[in-house]
Homo-oligomer: A and B are copies of this chain.
């Protein structure tokens, strides 16, 4: 009953099998191998458009590289105050970009509020030398609270951003979970909605360590290969990362895994609701945030459940919000045991 995160899971068997296959024979190093060569086509097919793909091993690296490629050092990136890039990367975007400022905004359900975005754009007029210059907007899909932007919501943000010449970045550490929820194509969920560059995550959804910066408009990020190398993220035996990504796209593995993870969260949410527990946010992907009585939390922990507290407005000493994350490895049996402790 480990709901601490989706990255406490190991790797999916299909990914491990791909690793073992990739280990046969020798291969050109630093991404000159055949598996890596195939990725561009695989991702271009996946996204129905010619894209560039830069595999890396962490979401932090993907995010920081993508943002450094689209925002100058004197620039600013608009993001949500709960975003991973702002809160949980120990300043990686600032390091990779040479000091670009993240302007953290509010917004319900961990989603950027268009009005807040417009207010910041108004407060930082173009060309005023005293202010950092808004250069990019970054949104997380699915969000840090397990919610999912609708295509219309992304479109609205894209419109505001584009009107000021900003580029749009998507932190897709849990992109598969969002896709499954939305039921749209990868193309519709990204560049057709206005996304210029994304961090494509696979690690949380079944890979060992595999993410990729995907660039929809190659013009905007011509220098990513140099930036990746100098960040120490060009692996000499790159085939082992590429093989994970290839297997992840193969035969819809990403979809099967994410569908399962989302379903487990849905089941949890259902059970929690049935037990009369308040959900602090409406779950749409693979995370649910119930507000639990202190006694319940204690009972769950005693029973072996693992999860993190997640303080939210509305919490009291007697009832606190916690975060429960499900993954491709979560079993129905774990869910049942968890709900059983709740008395469902």
Contacts and interface: CB of A to CB of B under 8 A. Distances in A.
Contacts of A25: 10
A158 interface: no
A236 interface: yes
Given A10-B25, A26-B329, A60-B232, 20 more contacts: A2-B26, A11-B23, A11-B240, A19-B208, A64-B232, A73-B95, A74-B226, A74-B229, A74-B230, A89-B232, A90-B230, A91-B100, A95-B95, A97-B99, A98-B98, A99-B230, A129-B226, A129-B234, A208-B240, A209-B236
Interface string A192-233: 000000000001100011000000000000010111111111
Interface string A43-62: 00000000000001111111
B26 A8 contact: yes
A263 to B, nearest CB: 19
Nearest to A15: B23
A132 interface: yes
A94 B90 contact: no
A156 interface: no
B22 A10 contact: yes
A236 B10 contact: no
A94 B89 contact: no
A58 B209 contact: no
A279 interface: no
Contact of A132 (B10, B30, B91): B91
A101 interface: yes
A27 interface: yes
Nearest to A88: B130
> Chain A: interface residue count, which band?
35 or more
B10 A28 contact: no
A231 B231 contact: yes
Given A58-B232, A72-B223, A232-B64, A88 B23 contact: no
Contacts of A298: none
A66 to B, nearest CB: 11
B91 A235 contact: no
A230 B95 contact: yes
Interface in A3-38: 4-5, 7-11, 16, 19-20, 22-30
A339 B71 CA distance: 47
Contact of A129 (B10, B73, B225): B225
A255 interface: no
A4 B227 CA distance: 25
A329 B73 CA distance: 37
B231 A92 contact: yes
Nearest to A124: B87
B233 A208 contact: no
A95 B230 CA distance: 7
Contacts of A235: 57-58, 209
